Amino acid sequence: MSQHVVPARLNRSQLAVPGSSPRFIEKAATSAADVVFLDLEDAVAPPDKEAARRTVIAAARDVDWGDKTLSVRINALDTPFMYRDLIEVAEGAGERLDLILVPKVNSAADVHLLDVLLTQIEAAVGRRKRFGLELQIETAEGLVNAEAIARASPRVESLHFGPGDFAASVGARTTSIGGAVPDYSMLGEPDVNGLRALYMGDPWHYVLARIVVACRAAGVRPIDGPYADFKDPLGLEWSARRAAALGFDGKWAIHPTQIEALNEAFSPRPDEVERAHRILAALAEAETAGRGAVVLDGKMIDAASIRQAQMMVEKARRVGGA
Protein backbone atom coordinates (compact mmCIF):
# COMPACT_ATOMS: atom_id res chain seq x y z
CA MET A 1 0.00 0.00 0.00
CA SER A 2 1.21 3.53 -0.75
CA GLN A 3 2.01 6.06 1.92
CA HIS A 4 -0.21 9.00 2.75
CA VAL A 5 0.84 12.43 1.54
CA VAL A 6 0.37 14.58 4.64
CA PRO A 7 1.09 18.29 5.10
CA ALA A 8 4.67 18.98 6.19
CA ARG A 9 4.21 20.35 9.70
CA LEU A 10 6.73 20.90 12.45
CA ASN A 11 5.54 18.81 15.38
CA ARG A 12 8.46 18.92 17.82
CA SER A 13 6.37 20.24 20.72
CA GLN A 14 2.62 19.84 21.07
CA LEU A 15 1.20 21.90 23.91
CA ALA A 16 -1.90 20.64 25.72
CA VAL A 17 -4.25 23.43 26.86
CA PRO A 18 -7.49 23.05 28.85
CA GLY A 19 -10.34 24.01 26.55
CA SER A 20 -12.18 25.55 29.47
CA SER A 21 -9.54 28.24 30.17
CA PRO A 22 -9.51 31.33 27.92
CA ARG A 23 -6.50 32.65 29.85
CA PHE A 24 -4.39 29.57 29.20
CA ILE A 25 -5.56 29.48 25.58
CA GLU A 26 -4.39 33.05 24.96
CA LYS A 27 -1.00 32.28 26.54
CA ALA A 28 -0.64 29.18 24.38
CA ALA A 29 -1.12 31.27 21.24
CA THR A 30 2.05 33.23 22.04
CA SER A 31 4.12 30.22 23.11
CA ALA A 32 6.96 28.63 21.14
CA ALA A 33 5.05 25.36 20.65
CA ASP A 34 4.82 24.03 17.10
CA VAL A 35 1.33 22.64 17.70
CA VAL A 36 -1.30 23.62 20.26
CA PHE A 37 -4.24 21.40 21.04
CA LEU A 38 -7.24 22.68 22.94
CA ASP A 39 -8.44 19.85 25.13
CA LEU A 40 -12.08 18.87 25.60
CA GLU A 41 -11.24 15.48 27.10
CA ASP A 42 -9.22 14.84 30.28
CA ALA A 43 -8.63 18.52 31.10
CA VAL A 44 -12.37 19.29 31.31
CA ALA A 45 -14.77 17.92 33.93
CA PRO A 46 -18.04 16.45 32.57
CA PRO A 47 -20.26 19.30 33.82
CA ASP A 48 -18.03 21.83 32.03
CA LYS A 49 -17.69 20.12 28.66
CA GLU A 50 -20.50 21.95 26.88
CA ALA A 51 -19.21 25.36 27.93
CA ALA A 52 -15.63 24.35 27.06
CA ARG A 53 -16.80 23.38 23.58
CA ARG A 54 -18.09 26.92 23.04
CA THR A 55 -14.86 28.38 24.42
CA VAL A 56 -12.75 26.28 22.06
CA ILE A 57 -14.83 27.21 19.01
CA ALA A 58 -14.55 30.91 19.84
CA ALA A 59 -10.80 30.59 20.42
CA ALA A 60 -10.25 28.87 17.08
CA ARG A 61 -12.07 31.68 15.30
CA ASP A 62 -10.96 34.72 17.27
CA VAL A 63 -7.46 34.14 18.68
CA ASP A 64 -4.43 34.99 16.53
CA TRP A 65 -2.59 31.67 16.23
CA GLY A 66 0.14 32.99 13.95
CA ASP A 67 1.83 30.18 12.06
CA LYS A 68 1.07 27.51 14.65
CA THR A 69 -0.75 24.31 13.83
CA LEU A 70 -4.03 24.31 15.77
CA SER A 71 -5.77 21.14 16.95
CA VAL A 72 -8.72 20.28 19.21
CA ARG A 73 -8.90 17.06 21.20
CA ILE A 74 -12.44 15.75 21.31
CA ASN A 75 -13.72 13.09 23.70
CA ALA A 76 -13.34 9.42 22.83
CA LEU A 77 -15.79 7.60 20.58
CA ASP A 78 -17.12 5.52 23.49
CA THR A 79 -18.28 8.59 25.44
CA PRO A 80 -21.57 10.52 25.20
CA PHE A 81 -19.65 13.72 24.39
CA MET A 82 -17.88 12.67 21.19
CA TYR A 83 -20.54 13.33 18.57
CA ARG A 84 -21.35 16.85 19.77
CA ASP A 85 -17.66 17.63 20.11
CA LEU A 86 -16.93 16.54 16.56
CA ILE A 87 -19.95 18.09 14.89
CA GLU A 88 -20.00 21.41 16.73
CA VAL A 89 -16.23 21.96 16.59
CA ALA A 90 -15.87 20.93 12.95
CA GLU A 91 -18.86 23.01 11.90
CA GLY A 92 -18.13 26.06 14.03
CA ALA A 93 -14.37 26.45 14.44
CA GLY A 94 -13.74 27.88 10.99
CA GLU A 95 -10.90 27.43 8.53
CA ARG A 96 -8.16 28.15 11.08
CA LEU A 97 -8.57 24.79 12.84
CA ASP A 98 -6.16 22.34 11.24
CA LEU A 99 -6.51 19.05 13.12
CA ILE A 100 -8.84 16.94 15.23
CA LEU A 101 -7.08 14.90 17.93
CA VAL A 102 -8.97 11.74 18.90
CA PRO A 103 -8.19 9.70 22.04
CA LYS A 104 -8.39 5.92 22.45
CA VAL A 105 -8.63 4.98 18.80
CA ASN A 106 -8.90 1.19 18.69
CA SER A 107 -9.43 0.22 15.07
CA ALA A 108 -9.50 1.39 11.48
CA ALA A 109 -13.30 1.35 11.73
CA ASP A 110 -13.09 4.19 14.27
CA VAL A 111 -11.16 6.23 11.73
CA HIS A 112 -13.60 5.41 8.94
CA LEU A 113 -16.45 6.78 11.06
CA LEU A 114 -14.57 10.01 11.72
CA ASP A 115 -13.67 10.34 8.05
CA VAL A 116 -17.27 9.96 6.86
CA LEU A 117 -18.60 12.48 9.38
CA LEU A 118 -15.91 15.04 8.62
CA THR A 119 -16.42 14.67 4.88
CA GLN A 120 -20.12 15.43 5.25
CA ILE A 121 -19.46 18.35 7.60
CA GLU A 122 -16.91 19.88 5.23
CA ALA A 123 -19.38 19.65 2.36
CA ALA A 124 -22.21 21.10 4.45
CA VAL A 125 -20.29 24.17 5.64
CA GLY A 126 -18.27 24.67 2.44
CA ARG A 127 -14.92 24.18 4.15
CA ARG A 128 -12.05 24.80 1.74
CA LYS A 129 -9.39 22.62 3.35
CA ARG A 130 -9.59 19.11 4.72
CA PHE A 131 -9.38 18.40 8.44
CA GLY A 132 -6.42 16.26 9.44
CA LEU A 133 -6.65 13.60 12.13
CA GLU A 134 -4.30 12.95 15.03
CA LEU A 135 -4.99 9.57 16.63
CA GLN A 136 -3.96 8.42 20.08
CA ILE A 137 -2.80 4.85 20.65
CA GLU A 138 -3.79 4.30 24.27
CA THR A 139 -5.04 0.72 24.51
CA ALA A 140 -3.82 -2.79 23.83
CA GLU A 141 -6.36 -3.07 21.02
CA GLY A 142 -5.20 0.18 19.48
CA LEU A 143 -1.58 -0.97 19.47
CA VAL A 144 -2.49 -4.31 17.87
CA ASN A 145 -4.23 -2.34 15.10
CA ALA A 146 -1.71 0.51 14.84
CA GLU A 147 -0.66 -0.30 11.28
CA ALA A 148 -4.25 -0.39 10.02
CA ILE A 149 -5.14 2.76 11.96
CA ALA A 150 -2.23 4.69 10.45
CA ARG A 151 -3.41 3.78 6.93
CA ALA A 152 -7.16 4.04 7.53
CA SER A 153 -7.72 7.45 5.91
CA PRO A 154 -5.80 10.10 3.97
CA ARG A 155 -6.78 12.44 6.81
CA VAL A 156 -4.49 10.66 9.27
CA GLU A 157 -1.44 12.83 9.95
CA SER A 158 -0.03 11.36 13.14
CA LEU A 159 -0.26 8.66 15.79
CA HIS A 160 0.35 9.65 19.42
CA PHE A 161 1.33 7.38 22.30
CA GLY A 162 -0.84 7.77 25.41
CA PRO A 163 1.29 6.27 28.22
CA GLY A 164 -1.15 6.69 31.12
CA ASP A 165 -4.19 5.06 29.59
CA PHE A 166 -2.05 2.46 27.84
CA ALA A 167 -0.51 1.41 31.17
CA ALA A 168 -4.03 0.99 32.57
CA SER A 169 -5.13 -0.93 29.49
CA VAL A 170 -2.41 -3.56 29.83
CA GLY A 171 -2.50 -3.70 33.64
CA ALA A 172 0.99 -2.28 34.15
CA ARG A 173 1.88 -1.74 37.80
CA THR A 174 2.67 1.95 37.63
CA THR A 175 1.00 5.29 38.20
CA SER A 176 3.74 7.20 36.37
CA ILE A 177 2.77 8.95 33.14
CA GLY A 178 5.71 8.98 30.79
CA GLY A 179 8.27 8.47 33.52
CA ALA A 180 10.41 5.60 34.75
CA VAL A 181 8.97 2.37 36.13
CA PRO A 182 11.47 1.26 38.82
CA ASP A 183 10.09 -2.28 39.10
CA TYR A 184 10.92 -2.91 35.43
CA SER A 185 14.55 -3.65 36.28
CA MET A 186 17.11 -6.45 36.36
CA LEU A 187 19.77 -7.23 38.96
CA GLY A 188 23.27 -7.73 37.70
CA GLU A 189 25.60 -10.46 38.89
CA PRO A 190 27.29 -9.89 42.28
CA ASP A 191 30.66 -8.15 42.16
CA VAL A 192 33.65 -9.20 44.26
CA ASN A 193 32.04 -7.59 47.29
CA GLY A 194 28.70 -9.28 46.71
CA LEU A 195 27.02 -6.05 45.55
CA ARG A 196 24.59 -6.23 42.65
CA ALA A 197 23.84 -3.30 40.35
CA LEU A 198 20.22 -2.57 39.40
CA TYR A 199 19.59 -1.91 35.70
CA MET A 200 16.34 -0.18 34.86
CA GLY A 201 14.61 -1.14 31.65
CA ASP A 202 12.21 0.75 29.40
CA PRO A 203 8.78 -0.92 29.64
CA TRP A 204 7.45 1.14 26.72
CA HIS A 205 10.19 0.44 24.20
CA TYR A 206 8.14 -2.13 22.28
CA VAL A 207 5.12 0.16 22.17
CA LEU A 208 7.13 3.15 20.96
CA ALA A 209 9.02 1.12 18.38
CA ARG A 210 5.81 -0.38 17.00
CA ILE A 211 4.14 3.02 16.74
CA VAL A 212 7.09 4.61 14.95
CA VAL A 213 7.32 1.74 12.46
CA ALA A 214 3.56 1.87 11.79
CA CYS A 215 3.80 5.62 11.20
CA ARG A 216 6.83 5.54 8.92
CA ALA A 217 5.34 2.71 6.86
CA ALA A 218 2.18 4.77 6.36
CA GLY A 219 3.93 8.13 5.87
CA VAL A 220 2.48 9.78 8.98
CA ARG A 221 4.13 11.44 11.98
CA PRO A 222 4.90 9.52 15.20
CA ILE A 223 4.46 11.69 18.30
CA ASP A 224 5.35 10.68 21.85
CA GLY A 225 2.97 11.44 24.71
CA PRO A 226 3.41 13.50 27.87
CA TYR A 227 6.01 13.45 30.60
CA ALA A 228 3.77 14.35 33.52
CA ASP A 229 6.36 15.57 36.04
CA PHE A 230 6.88 19.07 34.65
CA LYS A 231 9.15 19.89 37.61
CA ASP A 232 11.68 17.29 36.41
CA PRO A 233 13.42 18.90 33.41
CA LEU A 234 16.21 16.31 33.30
CA GLY A 235 13.70 13.46 33.16
CA LEU A 236 11.83 15.26 30.39
CA GLU A 237 15.05 15.81 28.43
CA TRP A 238 15.98 12.15 28.45
CA SER A 239 12.45 11.03 27.70
CA ALA A 240 12.48 13.31 24.65
CA ARG A 241 15.97 12.20 23.59
CA ARG A 242 14.86 8.57 23.77
CA ALA A 243 11.85 9.29 21.55
CA ALA A 244 13.91 11.31 19.07
CA ALA A 245 16.51 8.53 18.88
CA LEU A 246 13.76 6.03 18.01
CA GLY A 247 12.50 8.23 15.18
CA PHE A 248 9.67 10.25 16.70
CA ASP A 249 9.02 13.73 15.34
CA GLY A 250 7.98 15.28 18.64
CA LYS A 251 6.36 14.99 22.04
CA TRP A 252 3.58 16.51 24.10
CA ALA A 253 4.14 19.38 26.51
CA ILE A 254 1.71 19.55 29.40
CA HIS A 255 3.24 22.79 30.67
CA PRO A 256 4.76 25.73 28.75
CA THR A 257 8.07 25.26 30.60
CA GLN A 258 8.57 21.99 28.70
CA ILE A 259 8.35 23.50 25.21
CA GLU A 260 11.91 24.77 24.82
CA ALA A 261 13.45 21.45 25.81
CA LEU A 262 11.25 19.57 23.35
CA ASN A 263 12.00 21.93 20.48
CA GLU A 264 15.69 21.42 21.14
CA ALA A 265 15.48 17.64 21.54
CA PHE A 266 13.62 17.13 18.26
CA SER A 267 15.71 19.58 16.22
CA PRO A 268 18.91 18.38 14.54
CA ARG A 269 22.00 19.32 16.53
CA PRO A 270 24.53 21.60 14.82
CA ASP A 271 27.17 18.85 14.72
CA GLU A 272 24.66 16.47 13.08
CA VAL A 273 23.75 19.03 10.45
CA GLU A 274 27.40 19.86 9.77
CA ARG A 275 28.27 16.18 9.24
CA ALA A 276 25.22 15.70 7.00
CA HIS A 277 26.37 18.57 4.79
CA ARG A 278 29.87 17.07 4.64
CA ILE A 279 28.43 13.69 3.57
CA LEU A 280 26.45 15.30 0.76
CA ALA A 281 29.44 17.39 -0.30
CA ALA A 282 31.61 14.26 -0.41
CA LEU A 283 28.97 12.56 -2.55
CA ALA A 284 28.87 15.49 -4.98
CA GLU A 285 32.68 15.54 -5.21
CA ALA A 286 32.81 11.80 -5.91
CA GLU A 287 30.18 12.08 -8.62
CA THR A 288 32.05 14.96 -10.28
CA ALA A 289 35.28 12.94 -10.23
CA GLY A 290 33.53 9.87 -11.58
CA ARG A 291 34.22 7.81 -8.48
CA GLY A 292 31.69 5.21 -7.34
CA ALA A 293 32.94 5.03 -3.75
CA VAL A 294 32.43 7.85 -1.27
CA VAL A 295 34.85 8.14 1.65
CA LEU A 296 34.61 10.62 4.52
CA ASP A 297 36.95 10.73 7.52
CA GLY A 298 38.39 7.40 6.46
CA LYS A 299 35.03 5.64 6.38
CA MET A 300 32.96 4.45 3.45
CA ILE A 301 29.65 6.26 2.98
CA ASP A 302 26.86 4.02 1.69
CA ALA A 303 23.43 4.80 0.24
CA ALA A 304 21.75 4.57 3.66
CA SER A 305 24.15 7.18 5.07
CA ILE A 306 23.35 9.49 2.17
CA ARG A 307 19.58 9.13 2.71
CA GLN A 308 20.04 9.86 6.42
CA ALA A 309 22.08 12.95 5.58
CA GLN A 310 19.45 14.20 3.15
CA MET A 311 16.72 13.76 5.76
CA MET A 312 18.82 15.55 8.39
CA VAL A 313 19.44 18.54 6.13
CA GLU A 314 15.78 18.76 5.17
CA LYS A 315 14.68 18.66 8.82
CA ALA A 316 17.23 21.33 9.71
CA ARG A 317 15.92 23.49 6.88
CA ARG A 318 12.37 23.21 8.21
CA VAL A 319 13.37 24.29 11.71
CA GLY A 320 15.55 27.09 10.39
CA GLY A 321 18.85 25.46 11.24
CA ALA A 322 20.18 24.55 7.80
Q: Which residues contact 310 (CB under 8 A, 6 or more apart)?
A: 276, 280
Q: What percent of the chain has pLDDT over 70?
A: 94
pLDDT band at 283, cuts 50/70/90? confident
Chain center to CA of 304: 25
> How high is the pLDDT of residue 233?
94
Residue 320: pLDDT band by 50, 70, 90 thresholds? Answer: confident
Q: What pLDDT is attached to residue 321? A: 57
Question: How far is 313 from 272, CA to CA, in rounded Å?
Answer: 9
Tell me which residue of 168, 161, 180 sits closest to 236, measured CA to CA: 180
Cα–Cα dist 68/259, whole Å: 13
Q: What is the pLDDT of residue 242?
A: 95
- Domain with residues 13-267, CATH architecture: Alpha-Beta Barrel (3.20)
Q: What is the pLDDT of residue 279?
A: 78
How far apart, in Å, are the Cα atoms of 236 and each of 105, 230, 320?
26, 8, 24
**What's the whole-model pTM score?**
0.86
Q: Decide: residue 242, CB within 10 A, 0-12 exposed, 13-18 middle, 19+ buried.
A: middle
Domain limits, the chain: 13-267, 271-318
Q: In this predicted model, what pLDDT tens digit does every residue of 96-110 receive, in sequence order?
A: 999 999 999 999 999
CB proximity list for 297: less than 8 A, separation 6 or greater: none
8 A C-beta contact, residue 216 and residue 222: yes
- Digit-coded pLDDT (tens) for 201-250: 899 999 999 999 999 999 999 999 999 998 999 999 999 999 999 999 99
**Structure confidence by residue, pLDDT tens digits, 25-74:** 999 999 999 999 999 999 999 999 999 999 999 999 999 999 999 999 99
Q: Comparing 65-79, 196-210, 283-297, which segment has the lowest mean pLDDT?
A: 283-297
At 316 the pLDDT is: 73
